[in-house]
Structure 1
């Protein structure tokens, strides 16, 4: 039952991140209103907490799950999945820092809106995050079916 609960939570966190990234990408448009910027900041916080949750639950599954650590650590797809997750995390740094900076400016000036150039610089990063993140469940599905195991 513990493995089932861990797997369920892990999957819910994956879906949460996918939804948050899609929402962030959809909201991040020129003419971003202050209320939308506040929503974007809340979504980015959910993204960060969900990513932390995935790491904690995921590594908990590796160490204490039904398949055992050897199932994961011996599979190159596991390490590919971890690498893609890390790459998504690295890509998220710039958008998160910009959103935090915009939040600070918004607190100082209630009418602040980010420039179109700032927004245009971040949209490709969010799209790259979305596209790479989509590969993670595919890698997980392959792994669960023994693909990559020697």
Structure 2
């Protein structure tokens, strides 16, 4: 029982870190950024990536090793939707991550224009993340089983 509680706790902390770092990225965005600001965004994005790995690791542990049987999750279309949404958020995050990594180096006081596409992708990630807890609540209340 203690292992279930610890893994669930790590899962929640990871979720909070994912949301917090993505909100942090959104708040740091401006139409033009100094390379030093992009370097900061890159570090926040790294936290976002690491937190995503924590969420995935704890989530897969909860799915296949601890707690409810794997079939509880595997045969629930809302859980599958939740995974698809999380995967979509991950895919959408690739372009901003690459932009931050490419543009963080160079003269730190030099300004770089932030393409609107980067801002829109980060906002889309946040919007999709809002749907994942809804899926979790629906699933926890017994909905979605095939």
TM over 0.5: yes
Residues 119-144 of structure 1, C-alpha deviation per residue, up to 9 Å, x if partnerless? Answer: x2211100000000111111111111
Partner Cα separation in structure 1 for residue 55 and residue 99 of structure 2: 24
Figure out how many residues of one structure are paired with residues of the other and give that number: 145
Contact kept, 8 Å, 2:36 with 2:109, in 1: the verdict is: no
Please, which of 120, 131, 145 is the counterpart of residue 124 of structure 1?
120
Please, which of 109, 112, 132 is the counterpart of residue 110 of structure 2?
112
Counterpart check, 1:73 vs 2:74: yes
Stretches of structure 2 that go unaligned for 5 or more consecutive residues are none
2:100 maps to: 99
Aligned pairs for 1:126-145 within 5 A: 126-145=122-141
1:147 maps to: 143
- The structure carrying a bigger helix percent of its residues is 1
Stretches of structure 1 that go unaligned for 5 or more consecutive residues are none
- The structure carrying a bigger strand percent of its residues is 2
User: How big is the alpha-carbon RMSD for the aligned residues of Structure 1 and Structure 2?
Assistant: 1.3
